[in-house]
Structure 1
Amino acid sequence: MYFDNSATTRVSEQAAAAALRAMREDYGNPSSIHGKGVAAFHALSEARASLARLLHVAADELYFTSCGTESNNIVLHGAARLAGKQGKILISAVEHPSVHETAKRLAGLGYQLELIPVSAEGVFDPDALEPLLDEQTILVSIMHVNNETGAIQPLRQAGQLIRRLSPRALFHVDAVQSFGRLPLPLADWQADAVTMSGHKIHAPKGIGLLWLRAGVNLPSLMQGGGQERGLRSGTENMSGIMAFVAAAEECYSRMELHGEAIAQVRDVFLSELRRGLPQLLLNGPADEHAVSHILNISLPGVRSEVLLHSLEMKGLYVSAGSACTSRSTRGSRILQAMGLPKERVDAAIRCSFSRYNTPEEAVQAAGLIVETVNELSGLINLGKRKGRK
């Protein structure tokens, strides 16, 4: 059973078929001037237009990239280069590593970096953002949905503050965990740049999307043939693009239905866990400030890596946080930023759901976790008793 859909998702049949068609039949290079190239160019244009219709933006505001990480780097490095050699960068304390580490790199080059603090539930308070904004602010980057806790950030309030207090700052939103699952009201956010990714919505890995508001012209990080209107040179990943469009259209056409089904899976799963493990602690919001497809919990007394390996042996796949930092031994930076104690951080696991999960799976998965936690707790207690002897 796969409950790690925030790390990546199973490619849908529609997306796989679209990718295969692009690889085996419509495989021309969009830059070629012969028939197959021209057909590929038209397919690329229509793909961009299709995504623009879903997002209610202009097609020429969309740029295809390889992933969310690349898109985030384009925005952060681009904003810094536009500003010159100085300026203030604000990011929330719970950003994805592709934003957090990039911002740290820029700080090492002389830019001022400040973290927007979050509550114990992982949500930033607009009142905490306001005093950080000033005329020196060149960039504000705040994710829509946190990849570890599912917390939804108040972006509308953030946009209003940024436009009033730092009107020249570029406002960037990482929407990788919300694209295809929640509406993205770009105009309400007053955002300048938004990043999205394919493999989180049942498209293949290796395809991402960047929206830049009309008038935002970022310098290119890669030079070459001038593809993507000069922002990102390199032959377009047509199979990934076509699969991405197919997956996105599928998500948007049934967003509400899929959301209700996933919420049911989460509710059944959490209810079964709480019944069997009353010591369970929820990390993140428990109300409408969290999405239904991400659930972060701590099971005190059992270290997460021990639990993960034990569950894997029983056929259940979950995680201890972001897949991009899964090999770190320092514990979740996100949960630490929320002020959670070390014992709770060390015992945290993330379960994330997709439309392919069922309530029956939720019952079975919760049962495995209850069973495994009780087994491990028994072994730990036995070890402690032997140690005292």
Structure 2
Amino acid sequence: MFSTDGSLISADQHFAVLGALFAIALFGFWAEQKSWGKLVTGAVWAILGAILASNLGLIPKDAPAYGFVFQYLVPALIPLFLMHADVRRIVGESGRVGIGFILACIGTALGAVLAANLLDLGAQEGDLAGIFTATYTGGSVNYAAVIQSTGFDDANIISAATAVDNLMSAIFLAALALMPASAWLMSKYAKRDHAEGDEALLTQQEQNVSGFSLAASITFALVVVALSDGAVALLNQFANGQDSFSGLRYVFITIFAVIPATLMPQKMQKMHGGQSVGLVLAFVFFAAIAAGADVSKLIGTAPILLAFVVILLLVHAFVVFVGGALISYCAIKITGNKDSGLALSLPELIIASNAAILGATTAPALAMARGWPGLVTPGVLVGVAGYIVGTPLGIAIATFMAG
């Protein structure tokens, strides 16, 4: 009944393994719609489902199908998420939330470097610093890209890191949601009314999906990856056949994806469904990564990663909220006006931090939940900016730590 590797589905049953991964992704989407499943994200349920399935022997811990996911599906995630990333609009409309997001990126990078220097994470601590920098700047798409770019292949550590990431992200989101309840804290920043705005703008839920729009989205993603691989191959050829520029693959993917999104935003907006496909593939990626996790080894690895993320998030929060308070204080002192355009409000900083740590989907959700519809659009825009800068920043930190 069982295969030679002890699993119900053999590693060489490629379609069966892929079917299992997509089924686990489906479970993640289904679970997060339930009242009990909303306690954590769908990504967490996909991770837990894959870990459970592999450790119970339902699916193999290692299989060629997992390699297929890493090699072919992950690169397509980035352009699918970036196909609506109009850089001009992000820069022009994100405003003060954009300033807060810059602080958030700086805080994440500094936190990752400090945590890596304080803790002993082994020989690949630089890669881990880059991976966490990416995910806490943009999100899962950047997380996957930097994992592939650095060649980090320890399934136990990656699965533990993903689990810790999702746990701490949920705790951090709860803390952000509670901050405005403090009148003392609110008084340290500019007072601004964020109650006006279009609640329906940029909700991340794609509509009017058709076969044409899906085909266009998938074609766009594959062409972007192909052009990026071509650029890397050309540069490597100039480097006498060495793989000197292979690490730039995901940087090129990012660049080639945002160029048409910026130069032809109206045409790119007609490609509905691409981001939904990307999200499905992201869940499949999480399942493939988690399937290789050995529970006993995972338990032994998670505590130090938890300490790493705690340090990173504390530094991130310090830079965002203390830095934001200092900017607001200086702006008010210079202008003598508490409503100075350069002064930042606490809600603006909260949405910026949320967009960096949790991505473009939760930032507008928190804005609406707290009664700040005016911050919905800026929250989405800086979240999309995180998709753009997360991968290059993560790779830069990994390279810096390795040097």
For Structure 1 versus Structure 2, the TM-score category normalised by the shorter chain is under 0.3
Larger RCO of the pair (alpha carbons < 8 Å, separation 6+): 2
Bigger fraction of residues in strand: 1
TM-score between the two structures when normalised by the length of structure 2: 0.26
